[in-house]
Structure 1
Amino acid sequence: MKHWGPLIVLGTAQFLMVLDTSVMNVSISRLVEDFDTEVTAIQAVITLYALVMAAFMVVGGRLGDILGRRRVFLLGMVVYGTGSAVTALSPTLGVLALGWSVIEGLGAAMVLPSMAALVAESYRGRDRPVAYGVIGGLAGAGIAVGPLLGGWVTTYLTWRLVFAGEVVVVVAVLCCHRLIAETAPGGPRPRMDLVGATLSAAGLGLCVLGVLQSGTWGWVEPRNPPFTLLGFAPTFFVIAAGAVVLALFAAWERHRVAHGDDPLVHLSLLGRPPLRSALMVLLSQNLILLGLFFAIPLYLQVVQGFDAFETGLRLLPVSATMLVTSLGAARLGRRLGARRVVRLALVTLLVAVVWLLATIDPVIDDAQFFWAMAVLGVGMGLLASQLGNAVQSGAGEGERSEVGGLQFTAQNLGSAFGTALIGSLLVGALAHAFTTQVEDDPLLSEQARQETGIALEAGVSFVPADEVRSAAERAGLPPAEVEALTSSYAQAQLGGLRVAVLAVGGITLASFLVTRHLPDAGTARRRPGTAPTAGGTDPERRP
């Protein structure tokens, strides 16, 4: 690595956007308090951010091909900085969602695909996997700094200062734009496929909306939906509608290719096994990470009663080990192959999940929790060190932005599904466990069961057990029944958390199935920084 300037500028953008998400995750309790809302509302804001990025990431990649990658990167940073300013000043939850979820999400959708392509353009040969390892390490640094910085600022000052600081960082990146070189595009520039962009955004939006609302609506039996279909909850119908729209998107893209028009994305790229496998692992990685980073702060803040700074301190081991591992393992793929390193990472994550399950108790064991988080960070760092290069190595030079769009679509779709799916499983398991315990508890009277049933019909929230105690006291229940109800809810909380973490373990185990076509050690030695494509075609050649 002889020139670090472009990597510093591009890596700062990556760092900033990872920092953003990790700050929001540790600030959940304060956001609930500041905006007088519920955890599910903040979950929706977090999910909407990832959803906007996932829905428009391919569009952002295509814009890079049309307008130029550096230009779109810089324009995206301006949009992102504007969203940060709106977020810092947001007076209501709606304005927060507009600034953070929508405007920042659109800015990130422009920045990240162009960033991936610009890294590949700036570094070649043996430097390229190192560059992507550094990018992964900076993502780990964002996760490392986010909980601690965000927790401290949220606890002792205000979370708004973090987003105000992001505006300053954006201005600094824009001032250093001349460090980023860009290869002039060859041939005619493609046109934007507006119909494809609309169909892809709508399809992805419906799928994630269905998963997000499953905790409130119910999966099959209606819980608290705005409407029902044939007596069933609308969840599966909304997800199915999203799948149909995505099928229409695929048909439209094939139609455009057949008629010689520019598609939003060449679906033939997904026919390359190494690229497809890398994208699937990327989706899994972010589903696992964001799912855990939604559930764990709830355990620390709501169950254990820690403030945002104390939460950040307890998340520091996963952040620090992820940073160190992703930087140290950047060259490991060349010796062992990305496939072996990724499988080793998944085994490490399984160990961390099992260890974490053992720590979810009414009173936290800080030593056990520390080591579980440290092992989790090692697994995530191993993945981060390999996947960026594994994705881009399957692309030709003219495909960088397009593949970058697919890369960050998979990444942010995993983030959206992680927050939505794990969040809905957690709330659903909490409601089921609480209902069962209330029905089976002989200490509770019929009045207590009726009061609880009415509350559950209105929807269950993941709140401190003391709030349940206060609600039971306001209902006029005897002290013994108040304690029994509070104890049942506290046990249900732990049960919901265990179900959520166990689901993450299941996803980790299933991820082994999509690692088969990742590059092996022989591939890495033959062509540093590249991987063979389907049918043995040269990745430097456009399909």
Structure 2
Amino acid sequence: MSQTAVPPKTSLPDPRRWKALIFIALAQLMVVLDGTIVNIALPSAQADLGISDGNRQWVITAYALAFGGLLLFGGRIADLWGRRRTFIVGLIGFAVASAIGGLAANTGLLLGARALQGVFGALLAPSALSLLAVMFTDGKERAKAFGIFGAIAGGGGAVGLILGGVLTEYMNWRWTFFVNIPFAVVAALGAIAVISEPAGGRNRSPMDVPGVVLSSLGLGSLVYAFTRAESDGWTSGVTLGLFAAAVVLLASFVFVESRVAAPLLPLRVVTDRRRGGIYLSLGLAVIAMFGMFLFITYYLQVVKDYSPVVTGLAFLPMIAGMITGSTQIGARLMTRVPPRLLMGPGFLTAGIGMLMLTQLEVGSSYVGLIMPAQLLLGLGMGTAFMPAMSMATQGVQARDAGVASAMVNTSQQVGGAIGTALLNTVAASATTAYATSHAGRAAEQLKLEAMVHGYATAIWWAVGILALASLIAFTFVNGGHGGSTVVTSGDKDAATGEDATDELAIPVLAH
């Protein structure tokens, strides 16, 4: 039962907390933009290193598999080692992996570096979010902090497209790796200087080794299944086998977690109605957003013949909308209205922007159609992402903050894999059908029209997915606006048998 809080304790004086936010946000930006920055550089890297078409996808897949498969393990490590230590190790490791990638002289070294980036990203991402969750406990401060963090988490992918275009066009593809090094060094030095390990909440229970193995293999199989579905088709033997393996492994993982004394993922974290709704709606929204990134990037470069730099800059309106939605709408209203009244309308607003993009044609105007659609997308996503990021870690026991944060990143990572594979498959099928039914027209014009028709068809799916995300947010994300209460679960610590009531006051929603 909740009780009125005493002023929340934290190991950081107030000014240092805000300095810490700068370095945490910088690290988050590095991880998020790395998901897209390499995409634009991939054709140049393939030509330079002689990467075969069959191995090309592994430059993206190696990172996604390691990152997505190890996120829960990374969150548990943060709870076990301490969030500050995990954060710094993740930064240093990510910088080293990026240096290896930038210096890679052959395909094997590049793929190994990408996998290593994923491993350290899986340590870094959940520790960054959980540091924020336990350091900012006052409602208004938390709203501001997560407004900034949410804008970066949502807009980082578009920043990656811009930066990737600039570096590839004016320098070379290797700088899409080297650029991570100053990000990581500055963030690590800043973390050492201003971040102290937050008091309380260290989870010293034994490592759940079966849970680590099952979750890593299960999530890895799921991410890889969607990757293979995109290249081999949904009904290929490999794709179906990977999906079946993912179902068996993840079902076994849930069974094990319900039985062991010290689970990797305490089921209380995901079975909470509000938090489960947030994870699900976030994952769905990322499916739609990644599809939009993919199609608009190809539309601008292939149909409109934009350069990589101009294509990246074309996403600026979405970033502006994202920042506005997170910091000016979400952060200002989060302590005043229920989160569902930010998330639900936010996803609907993004859906309206996506709906505009279903009218895409070969001759569509960037200023008349794409720019206003991106503004609405960014505004809606920023408004929804900000409270979602905050609420996903709000009310959890401090000792579970790392794994709760990892679930946020897991929903986004899996959503990104699904969005890329599912919507690309829909677009390819629609493109083929259009070209077949309109055979006999000028070949070049038909090719462009069929391509754009495929994009518009897939974007209709994205509209429906955002509508579903909005419905889930309205239905499941219950509770009032944030208020400060202390969570006193009365649970016993699995390792010590002592009462597990948190030392740290965590705001929880008033029901």
Q: Please classify the TM superposition score into its range, dividing by the shorter chain length.
A: 0.7 to 0.9
Partner in structure 2 of residue 313 of structure 1: 313
Contact 1:390 1:519 in 2 (8 A): no
Contact 2:203 2:399 in 1 (8 A): no
**TM-score using structure 1 length:** 0.80
1:174 aligns with 2:188: yes
Contact 1:47 1:420 in 2 (8 A): no
Matches of 1:405 and 1:355, distance apart in 2: 33
Task: Deviation per CA, 1:167-223: give whole Å up to 9, x if none.
Answer: 122112222213111135568712222222121122222222222222333334xxx
Percent pairwise identity: 28
Matches of 1:285 and 1:276, distance apart in 2: 14
Partner in structure 1 of residue 210 of structure 2: 195
Matches of 1:38 and 1:77, distance apart in 2: 31
Task: Deviation per CA, 1:198-257: give whole Å up to 9, x if none.
Answer: 21122222222222222333334xxxx5xx4xxxxx43343122111111111122221x
Q: 1:67 is aligned with what amino acid?
A: W
Contact 1:361 1:494 in 2 (8 A): yes
Matches of 1:40 and 1:431, distance apart in 2: 22
Matches of 2:34 and 2:231, distance apart in 1: 27
Task: Deviation per CA, 1:322-374: give whole Å up to 9, x if none.
Answer: 12221112121222221011111111111111111223425544432111111
Partner in structure 2 of residue 75 of structure 1: 89
1:56 pairs, out of 58, 61, 70, with 70
Structure 2 unaligned spans of 5+: 1-13, 490-500, 507-511
Query: CA separation of 1:341/1:82 partners in 2, compared to 1, >3 Å: closer, same or farther?
Result: same
Q: 2:316 is aligned with what amino acid?
A: L
Matches within 5 A, 1:101-112: 102-112=115-125
Matches of 1:39 and 1:367, distance apart in 2: 37
Query: CA separation of 1:419/1:404 partners in 2, compared to 1, >3 Å: closer, same or farther?
Result: same
SS at match of 1:171: helix
Contact 1:287 1:415 in 2 (8 A): yes
Matches of 2:42 and 2:180, distance apart in 1: 19
Shift of 1:107: 0.9
Query: CA separation of 1:364/1:65 partners in 2, compared to 1, >3 Å: closer, same or farther?
Result: same
Shift of 1:143: 4.2
Tell me how large the CA RMSD over aligned residues is. 2.8
Partner in structure 2 of residue 424 of structure 1: 425
Shift of 1:296: 1.6
Matches of 1:33 and 1:354, distance apart in 2: 37
Matches within 5 A, 1:457-472: none
Shift of 1:312: 0.9
Matches of 2:67 and 2:24, distance apart in 1: 18
**TM-score using structure 2 length:** 0.85
Structure 1 unaligned spans of 5+: 229-233, 444-482
Matches of 1:29 and 1:371, distance apart in 2: 30
1:116 aligns with 2:117: no
1:165 aligns with 2:122: no
Matches of 2:57 and 2:388, distance apart in 1: 27
Shift of 1:395: 0.8
Contact 1:61 1:110 in 2 (8 A): yes
Shift of 1:402: 1.8
Matches of 1:530 and 1:34, distance apart in 2: 56
Contact 2:282 2:469 in 1 (8 A): no
Partner in structure 2 of residue 252 of structure 1: 256
1:322 aligns with 2:322: yes
Task: Deviation per CA, 1:464-487: give whole Å up to 9, x if none.
Answer: xxxxxxxxxxxxxxxxxxx74444
Contact 1:27 1:150 in 2 (8 A): yes
Partner in structure 1 of residue 477 of structure 2: 518
Matches of 1:6 and 1:76, distance apart in 2: 16
Partner in structure 2 of residue 295 of structure 1: 295
Shift of 1:317: 0.8
Tell me whether 74-83 or 122-131 shows the greater mean CA deviation: 122-131
Contact 1:113 1:401 in 2 (8 A): yes
1:95 pairs, out of 97, 105, 109, with 109
Partner in structure 2 of residue 478 of structure 1: none
Partner in structure 1 of residue 11 of structure 2: none
Task: Deviation per CA, 1:101-129: give whole Å up to 9, x if none.
Answer: x1111111101111112112222122222
SS at match of 1:335: coil
Matches within 5 A, 1:391-406: 391-406=392-407
Matches of 1:504 and 1:179, distance apart in 2: 42
Query: CA separation of 1:362/1:150 partners in 2, compared to 1, >3 Å: closer, same or farther?
Result: same
Matches within 5 A, 1:371-520: 371-434=372-435, 436-437=436-437, 441=439, 443=440, 484-515=442-473, 516-520=475-479
Contact 1:6 1:181 in 2 (8 A): no
Matches of 2:276 and 2:189, distance apart in 1: 37
Q: 1:196 is aligned with what amino acid?
A: G
Query: CA separation of 1:143/1:241 partners in 2, compared to 1, >3 Å: closer, same or farther?
Result: closer
Partner in structure 2 of residue 10 of structure 1: 24
Query: CA separation of 1:141/1:372 partners in 2, compared to 1, >3 Å: closer, same or farther?
Result: closer
Query: CA separation of 1:165/1:235 partners in 2, compared to 1, >3 Å: closer, same or farther?
Result: closer
Tell me whether 166-175 or 206-215 shows the greater mean CA deviation: 206-215
SS at match of 1:334: coil
Larger radius of gyration: 1
SS at match of 2:258: helix
Partner in structure 1 of residue 230 of structure 2: 215
Matches of 1:359 and 1:427, distance apart in 2: 16
Matches of 2:203 and 2:41, distance apart in 1: 47
Partner in structure 2 of residue 338 of structure 1: 339
Q: 2:360 is aligned with what amino acid?
A: T
Query: CA separation of 1:213/1:529 partners in 2, compared to 1, >3 Å: closer, same or farther?
Result: farther
Matches of 2:271 and 2:203, distance apart in 1: 25
Q: 1:507 is aligned with what amino acid?
A: I
Matches of 1:503 and 1:337, distance apart in 2: 28
Contact 1:321 1:378 in 2 (8 A): yes
Matches of 1:243 and 1:306, distance apart in 2: 42
SS at match of 2:334: helix
Matches of 2:51 and 2:369, distance apart in 1: 33
Contact 1:389 1:529 in 2 (8 A): no
Shift of 1:528: 4.6
SS at match of 1:358: coil
Query: CA separation of 1:529/1:144 partners in 2, compared to 1, >3 Å: closer, same or farther?
Result: farther
Partner in structure 2 of residue 139 of structure 1: 153
> How many equivalent residue pairs?
475
Contact 1:325 1:381 in 2 (8 A): yes
Query: CA separation of 1:285/1:532 partners in 2, compared to 1, >3 Å: closer, same or farther?
Result: farther
Matches of 1:491 and 1:252, distance apart in 2: 51
Matches of 1:120 and 1:54, distance apart in 2: 21
Contact 1:50 1:415 in 2 (8 A): no
Matches of 2:428 and 2:158, distance apart in 1: 27
Q: 2:65 is aligned with what amino acid?
A: L
